[in-house]
A = this chain, B = another copy of it.
């Protein structure tokens, strides 16, 4: 496939001088339209053969446009901190907000390609990585990110010539590293793996653009024009207010399941625990939990605990029984409410990626990313297409956590409608519990049935083998607390017995 980028097309200095100012002017205008519109972020992947002009193009884009609204990120070997987390986190953490441009020099393609070229990992693992990338990029596109993937190519002969030229001049010799020559030895293999990767990941939403890197003038004008076209098209669409995701919505609407099993209705809400048994069991499971997280094997793991539940189901009380067993240095409780403006300018899962625990640590989410398919669905804060695709996005997210050795335990604390009313009345009458009752609570209560459907769908569609839901009957708070602590201990115990998957 790379033959198309070996045309040897050249642009004369005169032609370049004639065309460059106009391109530059248009790019700058487009960048400012983007900034003022602030409707979507732009991610530019700069990839390809060493010496094909990747670095030069990054510098050129920064020179042509206003660099204060462009962020540039290069990726080397992961840092100690990055190694604590799923591999994709380092890319999530540098995504530009709406209105801005992020240039990624090295990307989620680097590791799969390099590992394949070096013969590390199986073909099956490589295919899985490619599939993961397709899903990730699909998510970005659906979240509105304009993704421009540029591949800078050089023929083998041109690459050799380029490296030699740089090395011959004592002033530019430093630009060639030993690594560049080592990589050159694998040129043919790199070319084959890259071709397969590009073919498999060139989707309508995020196609690859091949650029012949042999002539700087040609290369620069081509890259600039590609960016200009992509920006212009998206901005025109956005300002015409044409619903860009109409297709996605229609496709998803058909995929709606008939009906999820009524897991809420199947719970035994009469489960009770007497006070004495509760006290005894509480000490028992708190002690066990404490030992488990101090187990050296937990140092290679992390724990993410998710609490969802109806209003007044007792999440706060459970969280305190859990933290009561933990060392404050080891856990963080993350209450999830409305996103900040930094968070709003990003794909919706971004704000959860930034809260993931380090190895050996515990993150307790009091409400979570499941708000997307609960409150946001019921209150229509997002379109049906958005919460419909969220199930898959959540599964992908939790799959990455699990693959990284994180134990994901999810609890839904369920109470009956009558029990909720009783608790609301109690809260009204106890002054220091007043704050817990807001007009929102009464409003949510009127949506009880809509929430029931949403909860049943959620459990049906996001209970994976690695991260199953545990529904807890919480009409009796003592019973609920013990179920949570015991389940947590059992899941942790089972997890640390086997080594992490990766």
Contacts and interface: CB of A to CB of B under 8 A. Distances in A.
Interface of A: 21, 24-25, 28, 32, 55, 58-59, 62-64, 66-69, 71-76, 79-81, 84, 105-106, 171-175, 280, 283-284, 286-287, 290-291, 316, 319-320, 323-324, 327-333, 335, 337, 340-342, 358, 366, 431-432, 434-436
A319 B435 contact: no
22 contacts: A21-B431, A21-B432, A25-B431, A28-B435, A59-B324, A67-B316, A67-B333, A68-B337, A72-B328, A76-B327, A79-B358, A80-B81, A81-B84, A81-B358, A105-B329, A106-B329, A171-B284, A171-B287, A172-B287, A174-B291, A340-B341, A341-B341
A50 to B, nearest CB: 12
A68 B335 contact: yes
Contacts of A74: 327-331
Contacts of A316: 67-68
Given A32-B435, A323-B59, A432-B24, A73 B328 contact: yes
A180 B291 CA distance: 16
Contacts of A59: 320, 323-324
A316 B59 CA distance: 11
Given A25-B431, A28-B432, A320-B67, A340 B337 contact: no
Contact of A320 (B62, B106, B320, B328): B62
Contacts of A106: 328-329
Q: Name, among A324, A328, A331, A341, the residue most crowded by chain B CB atoms within 10 Å (CB to CB).
A: A328
A270 B29 CA distance: 35
A254 to B, nearest CB: 39
Interface of A is mostly: helix
A220 to B, nearest CB: 14
Contacts of A434: 28
Contacts of A284: 171
Contacts of A21: 431-432
Contact of A80 (B32, B80, B332): B80
A4 to B, nearest CB: 27
Given A74-B328, A172-B283, A66 B436 contact: yes
A477 to B, nearest CB: 13
Nearest to A325: B174
Nearest to A171: B283
Enumerate the 5 nearest inter-chain pairs by beta-carbon distance, A residue then B residue, closest first. A74-B328, A74-B329, A81-B81, A68-B335, A171-B283
Contacts of A340: 340-342
Given A105-B328, A435-B28, A333 B80 contact: no
A166 to B, nearest CB: 12
A330 B63 CA distance: 19
A335 B69 CA distance: 8
Contacts of A324: 55, 59
Contacts of A55: 324, 328
Given A328-B105, A341-B341, A68 B291 contact: no
A430 to B, nearest CB: 8
Nearest to A27: B432
A280 B169 CA distance: 12
Given A68-B337, A171-B284, A432 B327 contact: no
Contacts of A69: 335
Contacts of A431: 21, 25
A75 B328 CA distance: 7
A434 B26 CA distance: 12
A93 to B, nearest CB: 12
Contacts of A24: 432
A338 B363 CA distance: 31
Contacts of A28: 432, 434-435
A492 to B, nearest CB: 15
Nearest to A23: B432
A350 to B, nearest CB: 13
A358 B79 CA distance: 9
A440 to B, nearest CB: 13
Contacts of A175: 290
A178 to B, nearest CB: 11
Contact of A432 (B64, B291, B337, B341): B64
